[in-house]
């Protein structure tokens, strides 16, 4: 019985680690990179941070199952990040002290802020991904199985104790 309980705990920790490492952490890390891009002072820094964040965000899909919106659509977020990189590359050919350069940089910072908010909005729904739901259901099934085995074992033990002379 002790082995089953320890196995249950190890399985639960593994499920939690797997779910966080593969679904939550990459998006959380990309939000941190976008914060850095939002405060970057040159268009090249913006492009570098956004490019790195772009690789961590899923290519498509929408984590909101019930009522998906365009704000939480990863495909649209990827397109917007690609646009930011293109705008950043075109800004790098301008004079850094010019009004056009600064206006473009401020515009990119504002767009990045909106994307950050959209990713933050989608974070709670990432916990309810298909893989996480299946693994959590398996974990709950193991809990119920352990309780059923314990109840049967206890009933059998009590029955044997009462039958002894």
Task: Give me the pLDDT at residue 126, please.
Answer: 84
Task: Give me the pLDDT at residue 1, please.
Answer: 63
112 contact partners, CB below 8 Å, separation of at least 6 = 34, 37, 38, 46, 50, 84
For the chain, 165 residues long, the average pLDDT of each consecutive 10-residue run is: 75 80 90 94 93 94 84 93 94 88 92 95 83 78 81 71 63
Task: Give me the pLDDT at residue 162, please.
Answer: 65
Task: Give me the pLDDT at residue 95, please.
Answer: 87
DSSP state string for 80-146: HHHHHHHHHHHHTTS-TTSHHHHHHHHHHHHHHHHHHHHHHHHHHHHTT-HHHHHHHHHHHHHHHHH
Which residues span the domain enclosing 43? 2-163
Q: How far apart (Å, rounded) are the C-alpha atoms in residues 149 and 5?
A: 11
pTM above 0.85, yes or no: no
Q: How far apart (Å, rounded) are the C-alpha atoms in residues 137 and 145?
A: 12
Q: Token pair of 8, please?
A: 């249950």
The count of domains in the chain is 1
């Amino acid at each position: 019985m002790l082995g089953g309980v320890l196995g249950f705990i190890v399985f639960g920790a593994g499920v939690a680690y797997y779910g966080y490492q593969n679904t939550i952490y990459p998006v959380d890390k990309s939000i941190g990179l976008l914060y850095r891009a939002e405060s970057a002072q040159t268009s090249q820094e913006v492009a570098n941070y956004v490019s790195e964040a772009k690789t961590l965000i899923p290519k498509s899909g929408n984590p909101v199952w019930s009522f998906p919106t365009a704000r939480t659509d990863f495909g649209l977020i990827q397109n917007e990040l690609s646009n930011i990189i293109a705008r950043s590359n075109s800004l790098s050919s301008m004079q850094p002290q010019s009004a056009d350069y600064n206006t473009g940089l401020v515009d990119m910072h504002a767009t990045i802020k909106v994307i950050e908010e959209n990713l933050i909005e989608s974070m709670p729904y990432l916990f309810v991904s298909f893989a996480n739901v299946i693994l959590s259901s398996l974990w709950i099934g193991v809990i119920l199985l352990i309780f059923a085995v314990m109840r049967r074992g206890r009933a059998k033990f009590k029955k044997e104790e009462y039958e002894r002379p």
